[in-house]
Structure 1
Amino acid sequence: MPTSPVPRAVTLVYDGPARHIGELPHHFVVSATSIPAARTVLEQLPGFHNWLEEQQEYVVEPAPYVRFLPARSHLGLHKGTTCIDLRRQQAHGLTHPAPTDPIPTCLDHATAQRVFTGALKRPFRFCATATEPVAHVDHNGYAYRVVLPDPGNAFIDGRTGPNGTEALTADATISCTQSLRRANSQRMISAHVRALARRTTPVCPAPPTAAAPHPRHMP
Protein backbone atom coordinates (compact mmCIF):
# COMPACT_ATOMS: atom_id res chain seq x y z
CA MET A 1 0.00 0.00 0.00
CA PRO A 2 1.58 3.31 -1.05
CA THR A 3 2.50 5.69 1.75
CA SER A 4 1.96 9.45 1.57
CA PRO A 5 5.06 11.65 1.30
CA VAL A 6 6.52 12.81 4.59
CA PRO A 7 7.02 16.59 4.94
CA ARG A 8 10.65 17.67 5.15
CA ALA A 9 12.69 20.85 5.14
CA VAL A 10 12.52 22.74 1.83
CA THR A 11 14.74 25.70 0.96
CA LEU A 12 13.12 28.36 -1.22
CA VAL A 13 15.22 31.14 -2.71
CA TYR A 14 13.96 34.64 -3.58
CA ASP A 15 15.68 37.86 -4.51
CA GLY A 16 14.54 41.46 -4.33
CA PRO A 17 15.33 44.74 -6.10
CA ALA A 18 18.67 45.10 -4.27
CA ARG A 19 19.99 42.38 -6.62
CA HIS A 20 20.78 45.28 -8.97
CA ILE A 21 23.37 46.53 -6.48
CA GLY A 22 24.82 43.11 -5.71
CA GLU A 23 22.68 41.84 -2.82
CA LEU A 24 22.63 38.05 -2.58
CA PRO A 25 19.36 36.06 -2.75
CA HIS A 26 17.47 35.20 0.45
CA HIS A 27 16.93 31.59 1.54
CA PHE A 28 13.73 30.61 3.38
CA VAL A 29 13.04 27.25 5.02
CA VAL A 30 9.62 25.66 5.58
CA SER A 31 8.36 22.10 5.92
CA ALA A 32 6.58 20.55 2.92
CA THR A 33 6.55 17.56 0.58
CA SER A 34 7.54 19.48 -2.57
CA ILE A 35 8.75 22.85 -3.77
CA PRO A 36 5.31 23.98 -5.09
CA ALA A 37 3.70 23.00 -1.78
CA ALA A 38 6.44 24.83 0.10
CA ARG A 39 5.77 28.03 -1.89
CA THR A 40 2.10 27.88 -0.97
CA VAL A 41 3.04 27.58 2.70
CA LEU A 42 5.78 30.22 2.69
CA GLU A 43 3.84 32.92 0.89
CA GLN A 44 1.18 32.85 3.62
CA LEU A 45 3.55 33.20 6.60
CA PRO A 46 3.86 36.56 8.42
CA GLY A 47 7.68 36.38 8.40
CA PHE A 48 7.74 36.22 4.63
CA HIS A 49 5.28 39.12 4.31
CA ASN A 50 7.44 41.22 6.65
CA TRP A 51 10.36 40.58 4.28
CA LEU A 52 8.20 41.57 1.29
CA GLU A 53 7.36 44.89 2.94
CA GLU A 54 11.04 45.55 3.63
CA GLN A 55 11.84 45.01 -0.05
CA GLN A 56 9.53 47.82 -1.10
CA GLU A 57 12.04 50.31 0.30
CA TYR A 58 14.50 49.33 -2.43
CA VAL A 59 12.21 49.62 -5.44
CA VAL A 60 13.93 51.98 -7.88
CA GLU A 61 12.70 50.72 -11.26
CA PRO A 62 9.52 49.21 -12.69
CA ALA A 63 10.82 45.61 -12.78
CA PRO A 64 9.08 43.13 -10.44
CA TYR A 65 10.60 43.87 -7.05
CA VAL A 66 10.67 40.26 -5.81
CA ARG A 67 11.02 37.04 -7.76
CA PHE A 68 11.24 33.32 -6.98
CA LEU A 69 14.39 31.46 -8.13
CA PRO A 70 13.38 27.85 -8.90
CA ALA A 71 16.83 26.83 -10.16
CA ARG A 72 18.34 27.59 -6.73
CA SER A 73 15.51 26.21 -4.57
CA HIS A 74 15.65 22.58 -3.42
CA LEU A 75 14.52 19.96 -0.95
CA GLY A 76 16.56 19.91 2.27
CA LEU A 77 18.60 22.59 4.02
CA HIS A 78 21.11 24.75 2.18
CA LYS A 79 24.59 24.35 3.64
CA GLY A 80 26.93 27.28 4.05
CA THR A 81 24.25 29.94 3.74
CA THR A 82 22.25 31.78 6.38
CA CYS A 83 18.59 30.82 6.05
CA ILE A 84 15.42 32.42 7.37
CA ASP A 85 13.83 29.41 9.08
CA LEU A 86 10.06 29.88 9.31
CA ARG A 87 9.16 26.35 10.36
CA ARG A 88 8.28 27.50 13.88
CA GLN A 89 5.76 30.02 12.52
CA GLN A 90 4.40 27.29 10.29
CA ALA A 91 4.06 24.87 13.25
CA HIS A 92 2.12 27.47 15.24
CA GLY A 93 -0.35 27.88 12.39
CA LEU A 94 0.44 31.56 11.86
CA THR A 95 -0.86 32.61 8.46
CA HIS A 96 -1.25 35.75 6.42
CA PRO A 97 -3.40 36.23 3.31
CA ALA A 98 -1.49 35.23 0.20
CA PRO A 99 -0.25 38.13 -2.00
CA THR A 100 -2.98 39.52 -4.26
CA ASP A 101 -0.61 39.45 -7.23
CA PRO A 102 1.38 36.24 -7.64
CA ILE A 103 5.11 36.58 -7.03
CA PRO A 104 6.79 36.03 -10.39
CA THR A 105 9.09 33.08 -10.98
CA CYS A 106 12.50 33.72 -12.52
CA LEU A 107 12.65 32.27 -16.03
CA ASP A 108 15.55 29.95 -16.83
CA HIS A 109 18.55 31.67 -18.43
CA ALA A 110 18.49 29.83 -21.77
CA THR A 111 14.81 30.61 -22.46
CA ALA A 112 15.23 34.22 -21.36
CA GLN A 113 18.15 34.68 -23.77
CA ARG A 114 16.10 33.34 -26.69
CA VAL A 115 13.20 35.64 -25.82
CA PHE A 116 15.44 38.73 -25.60
CA THR A 117 17.05 37.76 -28.92
CA GLY A 118 13.59 37.50 -30.47
CA ALA A 119 12.72 40.94 -29.07
CA LEU A 120 15.48 42.46 -31.23
CA LYS A 121 13.22 41.87 -34.23
CA ARG A 122 9.99 43.06 -32.62
CA PRO A 123 8.71 46.65 -32.28
CA PHE A 124 8.26 48.10 -28.78
CA ARG A 125 5.00 50.02 -28.52
CA PHE A 126 2.99 51.74 -25.82
CA CYS A 127 -0.39 50.16 -25.11
CA ALA A 128 -3.39 51.08 -23.01
CA THR A 129 -2.33 48.87 -20.08
CA ALA A 130 1.40 49.78 -19.96
CA THR A 131 3.34 52.90 -19.01
CA GLU A 132 6.51 51.59 -20.72
CA PRO A 133 7.00 50.33 -24.30
CA VAL A 134 6.24 46.62 -24.67
CA ALA A 135 7.09 44.00 -27.30
CA HIS A 136 5.46 40.58 -27.67
CA VAL A 137 7.71 37.66 -28.58
CA ASP A 138 6.47 34.20 -29.59
CA HIS A 139 8.64 31.29 -28.47
CA ASN A 140 7.79 27.57 -28.17
CA GLY A 141 4.04 28.13 -28.11
CA TYR A 142 4.12 31.00 -25.60
CA ALA A 143 3.71 34.75 -26.07
CA TYR A 144 6.22 36.59 -23.85
CA ARG A 145 5.83 40.21 -22.80
CA VAL A 146 9.12 42.15 -22.89
CA VAL A 147 9.21 45.62 -21.32
CA LEU A 148 11.80 48.29 -22.21
CA PRO A 149 11.75 50.92 -19.44
CA ASP A 150 13.67 54.16 -19.53
CA PRO A 151 15.69 54.27 -17.36
CA GLY A 152 16.33 50.69 -16.30
CA ASN A 153 17.08 47.34 -17.88
CA ALA A 154 14.64 45.46 -20.09
CA PHE A 155 12.79 42.59 -18.45
CA ILE A 156 10.32 39.82 -19.24
CA ASP A 157 6.97 40.43 -17.58
CA GLY A 158 5.00 37.18 -17.88
CA ARG A 159 3.87 34.94 -20.69
CA THR A 160 0.61 33.58 -22.09
CA GLY A 161 0.19 30.02 -23.36
CA PRO A 162 -1.74 26.76 -22.96
CA ASN A 163 -1.93 27.26 -19.17
CA GLY A 164 -3.16 30.83 -19.40
CA THR A 165 -1.12 33.76 -18.11
CA GLU A 166 1.92 32.87 -16.01
CA ALA A 167 3.88 35.20 -13.73
CA LEU A 168 7.42 34.70 -15.04
CA THR A 169 10.22 37.23 -15.15
CA ALA A 170 13.86 37.69 -16.15
CA ASP A 171 16.13 40.73 -16.23
CA ALA A 172 18.16 41.62 -19.30
CA THR A 173 21.80 42.62 -18.93
CA ILE A 174 22.93 46.18 -19.57
CA SER A 175 24.46 45.22 -22.93
CA CYS A 176 21.31 43.36 -23.98
CA THR A 177 19.17 46.35 -23.02
CA GLN A 178 21.42 48.67 -25.05
CA SER A 179 21.07 46.36 -28.07
CA LEU A 180 17.29 46.41 -27.71
CA ARG A 181 17.27 50.22 -27.52
CA ARG A 182 19.46 50.55 -30.63
CA ALA A 183 17.36 48.09 -32.62
CA ASN A 184 14.14 49.79 -31.58
CA SER A 185 15.51 53.27 -32.37
CA GLN A 186 16.64 52.16 -35.83
CA ARG A 187 13.25 50.59 -36.44
CA MET A 188 11.47 53.80 -35.40
CA ILE A 189 13.76 55.95 -37.60
CA SER A 190 13.17 53.68 -40.61
CA ALA A 191 9.41 53.82 -40.07
CA HIS A 192 9.54 57.62 -39.79
CA VAL A 193 11.58 57.93 -42.98
CA ARG A 194 9.12 55.69 -44.85
CA ALA A 195 6.21 57.77 -43.58
CA LEU A 196 7.86 61.01 -44.72
CA ALA A 197 8.62 59.50 -48.12
CA ARG A 198 4.97 58.60 -48.60
CA ARG A 199 3.91 62.14 -47.70
CA THR A 200 6.49 64.05 -49.80
CA THR A 201 6.85 61.92 -52.93
CA PRO A 202 4.99 63.84 -55.69
CA VAL A 203 2.51 61.92 -57.70
CA CYS A 204 3.45 62.63 -61.34
CA PRO A 205 0.52 62.60 -63.73
CA ALA A 206 0.86 60.28 -66.67
CA PRO A 207 1.93 62.08 -69.88
CA PRO A 208 -0.97 62.79 -72.25
CA THR A 209 -1.28 60.35 -75.08
CA ALA A 210 -1.57 61.72 -78.59
CA ALA A 211 -4.98 61.23 -80.09
CA ALA A 212 -5.04 58.82 -83.03
CA PRO A 213 -5.68 60.61 -86.40
CA HIS A 214 -9.16 60.44 -87.76
CA PRO A 215 -9.40 58.07 -90.72
CA ARG A 216 -10.57 60.95 -92.89
CA HIS A 217 -7.21 62.77 -92.34
CA MET A 218 -5.04 59.73 -92.88
CA PRO A 219 -2.92 59.87 -96.07
Structure 2
Amino acid sequence: MTAGDVEVAARAARAAAGALVALRGCGLGGRPLGDAGDAAAQEAIVAVLTAERPDDVVFSEEAVDDRRRLAASRVWIVDPLDGTREYGEEDRHDWAVHVALWSSGELTAAAVALPGLGELLLTDPAPRLPARADGPVRIAVSRSRPPPSPMRSPRRSAPSSCRWGRPATRPSRWPAARSTPTCTPVACTSGTPPRRWPSPGPPG
Protein backbone atom coordinates (compact mmCIF):
# COMPACT_ATOMS: atom_id res chain seq x y z
CA MET A 1 0.00 0.00 0.00
CA THR A 2 1.38 3.39 -1.02
CA ALA A 3 1.73 5.86 1.83
CA GLY A 4 -0.07 9.20 1.59
CA ASP A 5 1.89 12.41 1.30
CA VAL A 6 1.29 13.41 4.94
CA GLU A 7 2.59 10.04 6.11
CA VAL A 8 5.65 10.40 3.89
CA ALA A 9 6.31 13.85 5.35
CA ALA A 10 5.95 12.38 8.83
CA ARG A 11 8.35 9.53 8.07
CA ALA A 12 10.95 11.94 6.70
CA ALA A 13 10.65 14.25 9.70
CA ARG A 14 10.84 11.34 12.14
CA ALA A 15 13.93 9.96 10.39
CA ALA A 16 15.70 13.31 10.65
CA ALA A 17 14.59 13.75 14.25
CA GLY A 18 15.99 10.34 15.18
CA ALA A 19 19.31 11.12 13.53
CA LEU A 20 19.54 14.47 15.31
CA VAL A 21 18.73 13.08 18.75
CA ALA A 22 21.28 10.28 18.34
CA LEU A 23 23.97 12.66 17.12
CA ARG A 24 23.45 14.98 20.08
CA GLY A 25 24.74 12.24 22.36
CA CYS A 26 28.02 11.72 20.50
CA GLY A 27 30.11 14.27 22.38
CA LEU A 28 30.05 17.14 19.89
CA GLY A 29 28.84 20.64 20.69
CA GLY A 30 28.51 24.14 19.28
CA ARG A 31 29.14 24.73 15.59
CA PRO A 32 30.62 21.27 14.89
CA LEU A 33 27.45 19.65 16.25
CA GLY A 34 25.26 22.02 14.27
CA ASP A 35 27.11 21.28 11.02
CA ALA A 36 26.98 17.54 11.64
CA GLY A 37 23.28 17.80 12.46
CA ASP A 38 22.52 19.66 9.23
CA ALA A 39 24.24 16.94 7.20
CA ALA A 40 22.73 13.99 9.09
CA ALA A 41 19.18 15.33 8.96
CA GLN A 42 19.51 16.14 5.25
CA GLU A 43 20.68 12.61 4.52
CA ALA A 44 17.83 11.08 6.53
CA ILE A 45 15.14 13.14 4.80
CA VAL A 46 16.48 12.53 1.30
CA ALA A 47 16.67 8.78 1.96
CA VAL A 48 12.97 8.66 2.83
CA LEU A 49 11.82 10.89 -0.01
CA THR A 50 13.96 9.06 -2.56
CA ALA A 51 12.47 5.74 -1.48
CA GLU A 52 8.87 6.92 -1.20
CA ARG A 53 8.63 9.62 -3.89
CA PRO A 54 11.49 9.05 -6.36
CA ASP A 55 9.95 11.24 -9.10
CA ASP A 56 9.50 14.32 -6.90
CA VAL A 57 11.99 17.19 -6.62
CA VAL A 58 13.55 18.14 -3.26
CA PHE A 59 14.36 21.76 -2.47
CA SER A 60 16.47 21.98 0.69
CA GLU A 61 18.39 24.62 2.59
CA GLU A 62 21.22 22.12 2.96
CA ALA A 63 21.64 21.05 -0.67
CA VAL A 64 22.52 22.49 -4.05
CA ASP A 65 19.46 24.09 -5.62
CA ASP A 66 17.78 21.68 -8.04
CA ARG A 67 16.49 24.01 -10.75
CA ARG A 68 13.99 21.38 -11.90
CA ARG A 69 11.80 22.67 -9.08
CA LEU A 70 10.89 25.70 -11.22
CA ALA A 71 8.90 23.52 -13.61
CA ALA A 72 7.97 20.59 -11.37
CA SER A 73 4.42 20.01 -10.20
CA ARG A 74 5.56 18.39 -6.95
CA VAL A 75 8.38 19.81 -4.84
CA TRP A 76 9.36 18.81 -1.31
CA ILE A 77 10.53 21.91 0.56
CA VAL A 78 12.67 21.01 3.57
CA ASP A 79 14.79 22.54 6.27
CA PRO A 80 16.52 19.54 7.85
CA LEU A 81 17.55 21.47 10.97
CA ASP A 82 15.88 24.77 11.75
CA GLY A 83 17.67 26.31 14.69
CA THR A 84 21.20 25.00 14.09
CA ARG A 85 22.60 27.36 16.72
CA GLU A 86 20.14 26.17 19.38
CA TYR A 87 20.74 22.54 18.45
CA GLY A 88 24.43 23.02 19.19
CA GLU A 89 23.71 24.40 22.67
CA GLU A 90 23.20 21.99 25.55
CA ASP A 91 19.73 21.70 27.10
CA ARG A 92 17.93 23.75 24.41
CA HIS A 93 14.88 22.28 22.73
CA ASP A 94 13.87 25.13 20.39
CA TRP A 95 15.03 23.51 17.16
CA ALA A 96 13.00 21.64 14.57
CA VAL A 97 12.77 19.63 11.36
CA HIS A 98 10.57 20.92 8.51
CA VAL A 99 9.22 18.84 5.63
CA ALA A 100 6.53 20.25 3.31
CA LEU A 101 5.10 19.31 -0.08
CA TRP A 102 4.27 21.94 -2.71
CA SER A 103 1.92 20.30 -5.21
CA SER A 104 0.25 22.01 -8.17
CA GLY A 105 0.49 25.47 -6.62
CA GLU A 106 -0.51 24.60 -3.05
CA LEU A 107 1.07 23.42 0.17
CA THR A 108 -0.67 20.07 0.55
CA ALA A 109 1.25 18.10 3.18
CA ALA A 110 3.70 18.89 5.93
CA ALA A 111 5.32 17.70 9.12
CA VAL A 112 7.20 19.67 11.76
CA ALA A 113 9.22 17.56 14.18
CA LEU A 114 10.23 19.07 17.52
CA PRO A 115 12.64 16.38 18.72
CA GLY A 116 13.59 18.23 21.90
CA LEU A 117 9.94 18.12 22.97
CA GLY A 118 9.11 14.72 21.48
CA GLU A 119 6.39 16.26 19.29
CA LEU A 120 5.37 15.93 15.66
CA LEU A 121 2.91 18.38 14.07
CA LEU A 122 1.11 17.34 10.88
CA THR A 123 -1.16 18.81 8.26
CA ASP A 124 -3.75 16.15 9.10
CA PRO A 125 -4.78 16.08 11.83
CA ALA A 126 -4.10 19.79 12.27
CA PRO A 127 -2.53 20.71 15.63
CA ARG A 128 -4.90 21.82 18.38
CA LEU A 129 -4.35 25.22 19.92
CA PRO A 130 -3.68 25.24 23.67
CA ALA A 131 -5.95 27.14 26.01
CA ARG A 132 -5.24 30.84 26.47
CA ALA A 133 -3.01 31.27 29.50
CA ASP A 134 -3.92 33.74 32.25
CA GLY A 135 -1.69 36.69 33.01
CA PRO A 136 0.02 39.29 30.84
CA VAL A 137 0.60 38.73 27.15
CA ARG A 138 4.00 37.22 26.38
CA ILE A 139 5.43 37.65 22.91
CA ALA A 140 8.03 35.23 21.58
CA VAL A 141 10.74 37.07 19.65
CA SER A 142 13.83 35.86 17.86
CA ARG A 143 16.85 35.77 20.13
CA SER A 144 19.14 36.60 17.19
CA ARG A 145 16.86 39.23 15.62
CA PRO A 146 14.90 40.87 18.44
CA PRO A 147 12.73 43.92 17.65
CA PRO A 148 14.75 47.17 17.68
CA SER A 149 12.20 49.12 19.75
CA PRO A 150 9.93 48.36 22.74
CA MET A 151 6.75 46.53 21.80
CA ARG A 152 3.39 48.15 22.46
CA SER A 153 0.09 46.46 23.13
CA PRO A 154 -3.26 47.78 21.86
CA ARG A 155 -4.47 47.39 25.46
CA ARG A 156 -1.79 49.88 26.56
CA SER A 157 -0.19 47.32 28.83
CA ALA A 158 3.42 46.51 28.21
CA PRO A 159 3.71 42.87 27.11
CA SER A 160 6.69 40.86 28.26
CA SER A 161 8.91 39.18 25.72
CA CYS A 162 10.88 35.96 25.74
CA ARG A 163 13.67 35.26 23.29
CA TRP A 164 13.60 31.98 21.45
CA GLY A 165 15.39 30.32 18.59
CA ARG A 166 14.02 30.50 15.06
CA PRO A 167 11.50 27.58 15.17
CA ALA A 168 9.60 29.08 18.12
CA THR A 169 9.13 32.43 16.39
CA ARG A 170 7.95 31.27 12.96
CA PRO A 171 4.69 32.80 11.71
CA SER A 172 1.91 30.26 12.10
CA ARG A 173 -0.37 32.00 9.62
CA TRP A 174 1.29 33.69 6.65
CA PRO A 175 -0.40 32.86 3.33
CA ALA A 176 2.47 34.28 1.28
CA ALA A 177 5.12 32.20 3.04
CA ARG A 178 7.33 30.40 0.55
CA SER A 179 10.68 30.02 2.33
CA THR A 180 11.70 26.55 3.50
CA PRO A 181 11.17 27.02 7.26
CA THR A 182 7.85 28.85 7.00
CA CYS A 183 6.09 26.48 4.58
CA THR A 184 5.58 23.78 7.19
CA PRO A 185 3.96 25.96 9.90
CA VAL A 186 1.62 27.42 7.29
CA ALA A 187 0.68 23.99 5.94
CA CYS A 188 0.26 22.41 9.38
CA THR A 189 -2.02 25.20 10.58
CA SER A 190 -4.05 25.48 7.38
CA GLY A 191 -6.97 23.78 9.12
CA THR A 192 -6.57 25.62 12.41
CA PRO A 193 -8.27 28.98 13.11
CA PRO A 194 -5.67 31.73 13.58
CA ARG A 195 -5.14 32.86 17.14
CA ARG A 196 -2.51 34.32 19.43
CA TRP A 197 -0.34 31.50 20.74
CA PRO A 198 0.85 31.61 24.36
CA SER A 199 4.56 31.56 25.00
CA PRO A 200 6.06 28.05 24.64
CA GLY A 201 7.75 28.42 28.00
CA PRO A 202 10.24 30.50 29.94
CA PRO A 203 12.65 32.76 28.08
CA GLY A 204 15.94 31.28 27.02
TM-score, reference length from structure 1: 0.27
Larger Rg: 1
State the structure with bigger RCO (CA 8 A, min sep 6), 1 or 2: 2
TM-score, reference length from structure 2: 0.28
